[in-house]
A and B are shown apart, each in its own frame.
Chain A
Amino acid sequence: MTVAPDQSARLYDFCLRYFTHVGATMFSAPPGVLCAQLPREIDKELTDRPFYWMWVEAMKETPPNTVLYLKFQPDAPELAVPDGAKPELITPGCYRFMRILASAKSRGSFAVGYEDAPCVTPFAVFSVKVSYVCDVRQDFLESYAVDLRDLRVYPDAMKHLELRRIQDERPKATQIAPVPYDLDALFTLVEDRVKTDIGRRDQTWAREAERRLANELARLDAYYSSLEQDVPAGRRQPAPSPANSASDHRTEIDGVAGGGGGRFGAAHRALGGAAGGAAVASVSGDVASVHAEVVDTGIVRPSNVAYEGPRGTAETAGTAETAETAREEAFSRAAERELRRAEILWRTEPKIAIRPTQFALVYLSRPPTAD
């Protein structure tokens, strides 16, 4: 296991600043090692023990604060630490570091800052994560500052603010000019500006995704239409028309992970899915019950097969195809088609997610621009 030296130095630097900023007690440690005693609320964020804290609080216990002993290189020198804390190797993506990142993100969502200058005026600073999402994804982190006096928007704010001396406390000798602001209007203003900026960028990715989507849907439609032709006319089920189902799904799609749930309801219920039995029954009770049977009929392996020989032959179903099951197959095929269509849309349709991640009120002597 190795961690590149520059990478481990970056992680060390980040963790050191994090612990310092959240008020952890730092123990002396050689380079490449951090040893910090965590305040209670930070402890809760960095360690996953909800039941422990529930118990501590219910019993009004006062256990000693946790000491984290973090190593940034596998061969870092050993350290005698209080409370027998065990060394943990910090690597990018490791559990502890991900918790530290998450804690930093959540604690740093909002801020007020003051430039060290005699006369300052307020700016609203936004960090906005823009994601191009289809079956792959690309992110950008944009930052904007809005001058609250004239609502002028300045892009790349964080890049310029990095170069300014901004502090947490208001300098005593600084005069500030308070300006009233409307939060909703500010968010709308920034979102509109983000969209304008995106509009100027290359959108080849979206066109390519649209093309892939059209191909996938065309293939799917061709496939299921060809199956329709195999089913006698009287048994056919109406297939969802591409235009309708596409527009239906569009209202529900969420581009990011875990967000595809809503759109599946109808398709999945019809396919005999969970929680769908009752709903299907209300539409067509007997069909639903037959369908449930078809789905549930697994393969019965001959019980007299006494050896673990080739299994292939056992897995051929011997069920005769009755008219009832044929109708049932056609029924579930329509539902299956709808489900596959929903999945393709969920996966491939190009979307742009705009998520403001941070907001700060910063008092500056002049706008955050290069000059």
Chain B
Amino acid sequence: MNRYENNHDLQETLASRGGMPAGKWSIFRLAHEAETDSLSLSFDGLTCLSQLPNVVPFAHQVATAVRVINELRGRALLADEVGLGKTIEAGIILKEYMVRGLVKKALVLVPASLVLQWTRELNEKFGIQAFAQRNAWSWETYDVLVASLDTTKRDPHRTAVLGQVYDLVIVDEAHKLKNTRTRNWQIVNQLRKKYLLLVTATPMQNDMRELYNLINLLRPGQLGNSTDFAAAHVEGQRTAKNPTVLRGAIQEVMVRNRRQDSGVEFTERTVEAVRLELTREERELYDAVTSFVREEYVRRRESRRSVLSLITLQREICSSSYAAMCTIETMLKDRRLAQDNRVRLQELYHQAESVPGYSKVNKVTEIVRSTPEKLIIFTEYRATQDFLLYMLQQSGVKAVLYRGGYNRGKKDWMKDLFEHRAQVLVATEAGGEGINLQFCNQVINYDLPWNPMRIEQRIGRVHRLGQTRPVFIHNFATAGTIEEHIVSLLQDKIRMFETVIGELDVILGPKAFENDLMSTFMESSDDLEVRARLSALSRRVQVKDASL
């Protein structure tokens, strides 16, 4: 039995005109033509492509849009690897639904830094009248609204947005919804929506529950309840029990295109390890900090205390002494700190203060001066970022900062300054999330994250669709430090910079990787043992990757 919905608008309008159908036949025919033109003539296919003269989509983007609409029925996780144009895919899907009359009211939730970029792209590329959310009235006023997830989850916006009914909700950088206890997850869960697109290149960062939580937003029960899921699919925190079965279930809600399969030609990527020698003072400081960390690490492990600050300190000393000083300062504020440790930390602090020259900074200045090209320098730490900016300015190099804490307008401004005024952008990858900087083709990794996913996020800022020139990546590695091992492991052994890690992230969470690295460094008695253990680690990664 068919369910009909009758629309009586025409009849009511006619009645309001006294039943007189006044009008010209010639325009009637024109209107009939216009109505015919606006029809969705079949269930399948994309009708919107002819209406997108400003977008030339790649085959994988069109295939993704078709699959999401016809097979995944509009509730999907778009998890293409970085740089394959997930935004374009989401835009095509939105446009198609709008052209077909299935979506009128849509909400795009993105990090604050991407609000304007999304608004602009929807307007310019897709001809969709999208507005950036500005105040509490925006929710009701506009049909297609782009808003920051962080703003949306706070009152009064939260109350306002939950009062709306959305035909489509798109969440960019959806890995921020990995935890069901966060407001991020809860607000998206509570939104009233017909279709839902979650967009992220890293659907799973730390453990398999994160992927489960994302999929539960799309289709509750797709992977069973959490107990069933754990029993059926989870072997370890990051290991799937039966990857083939799990992949089958996930594919019903997820699309993941890989660079190597997409058929898209990316420009060449040249990776260079820049080996540096520390100055004598830097070397002494490094050794002193490392020996402190090593002793304290073993002690804390034995007493089962947190080693997080030690890991941070060890990584920071590889980055810059300035960054390490900040953490030492924080550690000194801890009242529970033993007296002998306090004295040692104070000594380290003074030692760091008195370092007269910085080999890494000198190298940066040298590279910057040797090229007229624009460069992005990535670092993990804000302290290093501030320090670098200061040092660059001292050497007369025009540089700007880019970091997570900046608001939307400031990020846009900084990007603009970098494009038009400055030569160098000093960024943290957390701040650079999602921005497109294809006008630049040089990246300096001042320090390397121990998290494989973040490396690709960094490079993805420049090495993505739209980049026309070869991309050069300079990885700084100071001789005789942990950093040297890290660079060699990521660059030469796992070849993380040349082949984009694909399913690796699904099997090997970055946290495990980080912990394995730390215990390798801290528990090995000498350099030889470090090398042996890292080789074993890289073999394990490669075997797992190949087994997929």
Contact = CB atoms under 8 A, between A and B. Distances in A.
B378 to A, nearest CB: 11
Interface of A: prevailing SS: mixed
Contacts of A355: 6-7, 9-10
Interface string B35-47: 1111111111000
Nearest to B329: A306
A127 B38 CA distance: 14
Contacts of A132: 43
Contact of A108 (B29, B42, B167, B206): B29
Interface residues of B, number: 116
Interface string A112-138: 111000000000000101011101111
Contacts of A216: 219
B194 interface: yes
A92 B100 CA distance: 14
Contacts of B163: 273-275
Contacts of A316: 179
B165 A107 contact: no
A268 B190 contact: yes
B104 A257 contact: yes
Contacts of A92: 50-51, 53
Given A93-B52, A183-B14, A258-B167, A353 B5 contact: yes
B243 interface: no
A223 B220 contact: yes
B30 A18 contact: yes
A346 interface: yes
Contacts of B158: 274
A281 interface: no
A75 interface: no
Contacts of A129: 35, 39
Interface in A317-371: 317, 319, 336, 339-340, 342-343, 346-362
B322 to A, nearest CB: 12
Contacts of A195: 2, 4
Contact of B165 (A162, A187, A261): A261
A310 B514 contact: yes
Contact of A298 (B53, B97, B183): B183
A365 to B, nearest CB: 15
Given A1-B53, A358-B31, A138 B40 contact: yes
Contacts of A52: none
A139 B41 contact: yes
Nearest to A347: B194
A292 to B, nearest CB: 10
Interface stretch (A33-41, A198-206, A237-245): A198-206
A308 B70 contact: no
A222 B225 CA distance: 9
Interface stretch (A53-61, A77-85, A148-156, A224-232): A224-232
Given A1-B54, A315-B178, A347-B74, A257 B2 contact: no
A229 to B, nearest CB: 9
A101 B34 contact: yes
B27 interface: yes
Interface stretch (A24-32, A63-71, A171-179, A248-256): A248-256
B80 interface: no
A313 interface: yes
B4 A354 contact: yes
A166 B27 CA distance: 12
Contacts of A163: none
A91 B48 CA distance: 12
A219 B99 CA distance: 31
Contacts of B193: 343
B498 to A, nearest CB: 24
B428 interface: yes
Interface in A293-316: 295-296, 298-299, 304, 306-313, 315-316
Interface stretch (B15-23, B358-366, B484-492): B15-23
A138 B25 contact: no
B160 interface: yes
Nearest to A337: B220
A358 B32 contact: yes
A306 B383 contact: yes
Contact of A111 (B15, B28, B102): B28
Interface in B205-224: 205-206, 219-222, 224
A306 B30 contact: no
B404 interface: yes
B369 interface: no
B301 interface: no
A181 B68 CA distance: 49
B505 to A, nearest CB: 13
Interface string B414-439: 00000000000000111100000000
A104 B31 CA distance: 5
Contact of B26 (A106, A168, A191): A168
Contacts of B428: 308
A139 B7 CA distance: 15
B366 to A, nearest CB: 26
A110 B194 contact: no
Contact of A339 (B11, B33, B192): B192
B382 interface: yes
B381 A139 contact: no
Nearest to A333: B220
Contact of A110 (B23, B73, B308, B404): B23
B336 interface: no
Contacts of B42: 138
B101 A137 contact: yes
A306 B8 CA distance: 62
Interface of B: 2-11, 13-15, 17, 19, 21-44, 48, 50-54, 69-70, 73-74, 97-105, 127, 129, 153, 158-165, 167, 178-179, 181-183, 186, 189-190, 192-195, 205-206, 219-222, 224-225, 227-228, 308, 312, 315-316, 323, 326-327, 330, 380-383, 403-404, 428-431, 449, 451, 454, 510-511, 514
**Which 3 residue pairs are nearest across A and B when measured between Cβ atoms?**
A108-B31, A93-B51, A223-B221
Interface of A: 1-3, 7, 14, 17-18, 21-22, 91-95, 98, 101, 104-114, 127, 129, 131-133, 135-141, 143, 158, 162, 166-168, 183-184, 187, 191, 195, 198-199, 203, 205-206, 212, 216, 219-220, 222-224, 226-227, 230, 250, 253-258, 260-261, 264, 268, 271-276, 295-296, 298-299, 304, 306-313, 315-317, 319, 336, 339-340, 342-343, 346-362
11 contacts: A17-B30, A111-B25, A112-B23, A113-B28, A138-B43, A271-B190, A275-B163, A298-B153, A310-B511, A353-B4, A359-B21
Given A349-B3, A357-B10, 16 more contacts: A14-B30, A18-B30, A21-B30, A136-B44, A137-B100, A224-B221, A250-B3, A254-B5, A256-B104, A307-B312, A307-B380, A308-B380, A308-B431, A315-B179, A317-B181, A360-B28
